[in-house]
Chain A
Amino acid sequence: DTGVSQNPRHKITKRGQNVTFRCDPISEHNRLYWYRQTLGQGPEFLTYFQNEAQLEKSRLLSDRFSAERPKGSFSTLEIQRTEQGDSAMYLCASSLEGTSVYEQYFGPGTRLTVT
């Protein structure tokens, strides 16, 4: 399967714990995005990478959140000291520079539940 992959698909954690999610974009896609989606809402933009550079961050991305894309391929999103309000689906998307911005291909998401 050459689509966007995300791991783990589900994560249950206790409040206060740290969690890390991984996203593997489509090969050759140099743009990578993270979104968060809560029940009954559309996805909300969190951050965007072009290659290894993090170019945009939403104000939703508090100090407890950090994202990296060290080699310009896969990306990780870490949430420190999780809170119940962090429970959501975390979606990753990728696209190729030179194509239209809307051609973002989404992965299946990581569903986080904070108890």
Chain B
Amino acid sequence: RKEVEQDPGPFNVPEGATVAFNCTYSNSASQSFFWYRQDCRKEPKLLMSVYSSGNEDGRFTAQLNRASQYISLLIRDSKLSDSATYLCVVTGPRSGSARQLTFGSGTQLTVLP
């Protein structure tokens, strides 16, 4: 079983739609959680961190459920420029591999005009 699992998609949605991505992780001792965005043939870039209380950044909302080991990302009013692969990322427990990022395989989103 992979440490971080995501639905690979692709998700094809019209402009203005709301889309949600989910992610599960296997290590209950994982310490920190993030969403990265990767455009085609480009490097990954941090989109936002994910906190248990939930956090929002403009049209993007991220949530973490530690009990279910589940992370989500909601994109509202999607734009053409949101088309990318969204990578769910966790870090290890504090006493272990806390500095390496463990990535999911990514969920591909295409926003259609």
Contacts and interface: CB of A to CB of B under 8 A. Distances in A.
Interface of A: 31, 33, 35, 40-45, 48, 55-56, 58, 91, 100-104, 106-109
Interface string B77-104: 0000000000101010000011111111
Given A102-B49, A102-B91, A56 B99 contact: yes
A42 B105 contact: yes
Interface of B: 4, 8, 32, 34, 42-46, 49, 87, 89, 91, 97-106
Contacts, number: 59
A107 B8 CA distance: 24
Nearest to A33: B100
A38 to B, nearest CB: 10
B89 A48 contact: no
Contacts of A35: 101
